[in-house]
Amino acid sequence: MSRVRRSPDFKLGSKLVLAMCAAVVPAVLAACGSVARDAGGGETMHADVHVSIEVTESYAAMDEIPVGGGELRFVAPRPMRDPAGARDGASKRTLASGEMQAIAFPLRHTDVRTKVSGMSAIYTIEQTFENPYDEPIDAVYVFPLGDEAAVTEYAIVIGERTVAGVIKKKAEARATYEEARASGHTAALLEQEKRNVFKQRIANIAPRETIKVRFEYVELLDYDEGQYEIAFPFVVGPRYLPAEALGKSPVGAHHAGTVGRGGVTSIPYASPTVAGSTISFTADVDAGVPVLGVSSPSHQLRVTNPSPTRRHIELAGEGELPNRDLVVRYRTAADTTMVGVLAHRTDDRGYFTLVVQPKATYRTGDITPREVMIVIDTSGSMNGQPIAQAKALASALVDSLGPQDTFDIIGFAGSIDAMSEQPVYGTPANKAAGQAFLEGLHAGGGTEMGTAIAAALATDPGVDRVRMVYFLTDGYVGNDDVIVSAARTDLGHNRIYTVGVGSAPNRSLLNQLAVAGRGFPSYLNLGENAQELGTSLVRRTAYPYLTDIKIEWNGLAVGGVTPAAIPDVYAGMPLVVSGIYTQPGQARITVSATTAGRRISIPVTVTLPDRVDAEPVAALWARKRIDELLETAGETVSSSVVSQVTELGLAFHMVTAYTSFVAVDRTRVVQPGGASKLVEQPALMPAGVNGDTAIGPAEDAPPTYTASRRSSPSSSRRSSSSDYGGGGWGGGGDVDLLTLLLALALLPLAWTLRRMR
């Protein structure tokens, strides 16, 4: 065996050596280093370690050694060649953010094309995967979509061949995929991990071959105070998981080159200096009314105006990285009550989505005294820019308090830190104390959000008051359902207004939490003005809102309306319901609600057509119905709910928690026996998030792929119960006793090798 060869880009750290040596029985220790006696008679280890290793200028890793206890694995990089056939050891690409090293991961590019008509958007996503190795590989990639995304089309493209995906029950789709994989066929599988987190698997990508995965989904746009918003997520933020109460489909985080927590979907994160893939985006907007302006707080845009009512939007920069959400906002000239009806009917059953935007002049008058609870996430993922933005917004909220208001401030990470034992009046002295408390908050540690929810809702608000809980967080937890269920159970006389802070907040959790809390979500990008959002929040939460909303359909043959219990509607926000209709017709329906202590009625003329082919509308209804079923079920999903969700997924050709798309190319055998290597595509850390405080120091872990095709990243366990978790420090797996003892015994060797660097 040859000695270790070192390059300027390669660091052999103690963690790598410990993993290698602790993986084998003590008899093999001599292969890791010779043992001698020092002058004092004690044992020392020489640093002449004999390890077979291949080094390139980009990365280095050693042959995989099975680790007892499973925690860490390392594999040798396979030879890479550029299109001209030369070795790719020094390959680099120049991107918008500067020159970065290219690494051998398969995802090369994600292209998003959006068609917006009125209030709905159809997204077509094309992910380009490329095998840079001289042998077949399998790829796995965890990525986000909108939390109300209804994925209804799926296909893989190999050269000139397009293979359409088939929707099946999740277990059946996985079995089809595994059978094709074992047979050496190229196959792809799309599964939903959470409402906004999906997993892409591709088996048997031939050497140096490119495969494209295409899928479509439909989603309603957010509309708020005359402004539409297109929000497309490109990265899943690092999720924190507590030691217990993981909930359904938990999601965690780990560094690329290490193994994540066992039993969960654990997402690997690459170094921010590594560029593995790029993105492109275009949107064609047909608003139906004049568009007044287009802007983005996240990206530079290039906008052209084909007509007063239409806009063509694309990214201005080339080679943008998938490290933050893309947010596009545009205003329209509509200044009356907005009514929109999307419909689809080609047989006896039709589907519709109704959007009513009441146009009214609100006056706050004498604002009722408020009890304001400001809850700030101070976990590790908020370190830096995010916590600065959250504190600036909280400061603006404190400034808005009057002497008749009461308030308190809670910071939470692994524990709770409250300004006061009970709410205090908004006097100048108390507000100054509140500002001082905010100034002293620092980010670090885990994200025990359930504890923070319980603390904020633990007591009833004061007499004749509604407590307004402003919840400021990036939402980086992996047990969303547990958090939402806790808020719904303990809500009482409170309202929760969530504020997603950062470049890629967990919108699914924040939207659900706001609905459960009878409030609404807002989002604060790192480059936006926190003071302006604070002013808007105070103004909007002071307006009267519509409660106890009822709809009289007045003769229309309507059923299956979702949500069955219509949530409160705040000023500037629309009422959105979906349903089924069995007969076409037109009627003047009545929307009634209570606002500011009085009952009001809003007449709306609705036409449900006899025939219109707009299939995505049916998917919108099905998606909302599925979400309602699962939200109502809470943490305990019955077999009846599973059956209903599965039937809806199959009937509407849609990915759900219980249905998946699978596509198989049976025209060839790429790898007899299906023994391809598994490559886990890492995500980039979201812009502004400090990886060291979000999921812990990388400790020089090289980006690698695992050689065992039977083991997936989600089936391995963390090496320590005190490991970092996404969003801060989190619980992990068990520690193998033999591995621990051997690791301790080899610490002198690790120290010697570390000094050699």
CATH of the domain at 118: 2.60.40.1730
Q: Which two tokens stand for residue 1?
A: 């065996």
Of 37-51, 125-139, 407-421, 634-648, which range is least confident?
37-51
SS3 string of 583-628?
Answer: CCEEEEEEEEEEECCEEEEEEEEEEECCCECCCHHHHHHHHHHHHH
Whether residues 33 and 109 fall in one domain: no
Domain boundary among 517, 542, 567: 542
For residues 580-609, average pLDDT: 91
Please state, in angstroms and rounded to a whole number, the distance separating the CA atoms of residues 697 and 345: 55
Between 719 and 638, the higher pLDDT residue: 638
Q: In the prediction, which pLDDT does 619 show?
A: 93
In a domain, 634, yes or no: no
Tens of pLDDT, residue by residue over 525-571, are: 999 999 999 999 998 888 778 889 999 999 999 999 999 888 888 88
**Is the pLDDT reported for residue 753 higher than 70?**
no
SS3 647: helix
Domain boundary among 503, 526, 542: 542
Q: Residue 215: name the closest of 156, 146, 284, 128 by CA.
A: 156
**Is the pLDDT reported for residue 318 higher than 80?**
yes
Tens of pLDDT, residue by residue over 143-186, are: 999 989 999 999 999 999 999 999 999 999 999 999 999 999 99
Please state, in angstroms and rounded to a whole number, the distance separating the CA atoms of residues 577 and 567: 10
Q: Which domain holds residue 164?
A: 103-331+659-665
**Is the pLDDT reported for residue 319 higher than 80?**
yes
Indicate the average pLDDT of the chain: 80
In a domain, 685, yes or no: no
Backbone angles phi, psi at 294, to 5 degrees: -130, 135
Answer whether 371's CB lies under 8 Å from 465's CB.
yes
Residue 137: pLDDT band with limits 50, 70, 90:
very high
Q: What order of strands is seen across the sheet that includes strand 186-194? A: 166-169, 659-665, 186-194, 197-205, 137-144, 677-680
Backbone angles phi, psi at 638, to 5 degrees: -75, 165
Q: Residue 427: name the closest of 401, 409, 408 by CA.
A: 401
Answer whether 714's CB lies under 8 Å from 267's CB.
no
Q: Which two tokens stand for residue 227?
A: 């402004």
In a domain, 314, yes or no: yes
**Is the pLDDT reported for residue 193 higher than 90?**
yes
Whether residues 153 and 123 fall in one domain: yes
Tell me the pTM.
Answer: 0.80
Q: Give 76-90 as a DSSP string.
A: PPPPBB-TTS-B-TT
Q: In the prediction, which pLDDT does 743 show?
A: 47
Whether residues 483 and 527 fall in one domain: yes
Q: In the prediction, which pLDDT does 225 show?
A: 77
Whether residues 79 and 109 fall in one domain: no
Domain boundary among 665, 683, 712: 665
In a domain, 525, yes or no: yes
Tens of pLDDT, residue by residue over 713-744, are: 233 222 222 334 445 443 333 334 444 444 45
In a domain, 622, yes or no: no
Whether residues 129 and 260 fall in one domain: yes
Give the amino acid at 463: V
Of 88-92, 303-307, 624-628, which range is least confident?
88-92
Backbone angles phi, psi at 39, to 5 degrees: -60, -30
Whether residues 326 and 395 fall in one domain: no
Whether residues 413 and 434 fall in one domain: yes
**Is the pLDDT reported for residue 750 higher than 70?**
no
State the CB neighbour count (10 A cutoff) for residue 127.
25
In a domain, 639, yes or no: no
Q: Give 703-755 as a DSSP string.
A: P--BS-TT--GGGS--S-TT-EETTEE-------HHHHHHHHHTHHHHHHHHH
Tens of pLDDT, residue by residue over 344-396, are: 999 889 999 998 887 655 555 555 678 999 999 999 999 999 999 999 999 99
**Is the pLDDT reported for residue 140 higher than 90?**
yes
Please state, in angstroms and rounded to a whole number, the distance separating the CA atoms of residues 593 and 601: 7
Give the chain's radius of gyration (CA, Å): 28
Answer whether 687's CB lies under 8 Å from 323's CB.
yes
Whether residues 220 and 317 fall in one domain: yes
Q: Which two tokens stand for residue 730?
A: 């989190």
Whether residues 466 and 510 fall in one domain: yes
> Where residue 520 sits, what CATH number does that domain have?
3.40.50.410
Whether residues 30 and 178 fall in one domain: no
Residues 6+ apart with CB under 8 A from 15: 72, 699, 700, 701
Q: How far is CA 29 from CA 4, 24, 71, 499, 756, in A?
A: 17, 8, 19, 54, 20
In a domain, 561, yes or no: no
Residue 633: pLDDT band with limits 50, 70, 90:
confident
Please state, in angstroms and rounded to a whole number, the distance separating the CA atoms of residues 494 and 487: 10
For the chain, the domain total comes to 3
State the CB neighbour count (10 A cutoff) for residue 399.
15
Q: Give 526-567 as a DSSP string.
A: TTS-HHHHHHHHHHHHHS--BEEEEEE-TT--EEEEESSSPP
In a domain, 168, yes or no: yes
Q: Which long-range contacts (CB under 8 A, 24 or more apart) does 640-647 make?
A: 646/169
Please state, in angstroms and rounded to a whole number, the distance separating the CA atoms of residues 402 and 536: 16
Whether residues 179 and 248 fall in one domain: yes
Residues 6+ apart with CB under 8 A from 292: 330, 331, 332, 333
For residues 426-447, average pLDDT: 96
Whether residues 145 and 78 fall in one domain: no
Q: Residue 230: name the closest of 322, 112, 393 by CA.
A: 112
* Interior/surface letters 453-481, b for 16+ CB within 10 angstroms, e for the rest: bebbbeeebeeebebbbbbbbbbbbbbbb
**Is the pLDDT reported for residue 282 higher than 80?**
yes
Answer whether 93's CB lies under 8 Å from 102's CB.
yes
Tens of pLDDT, residue by residue over 223-263, are: 887 789 999 999 999 999 988 888 888 999 999 888 888 88
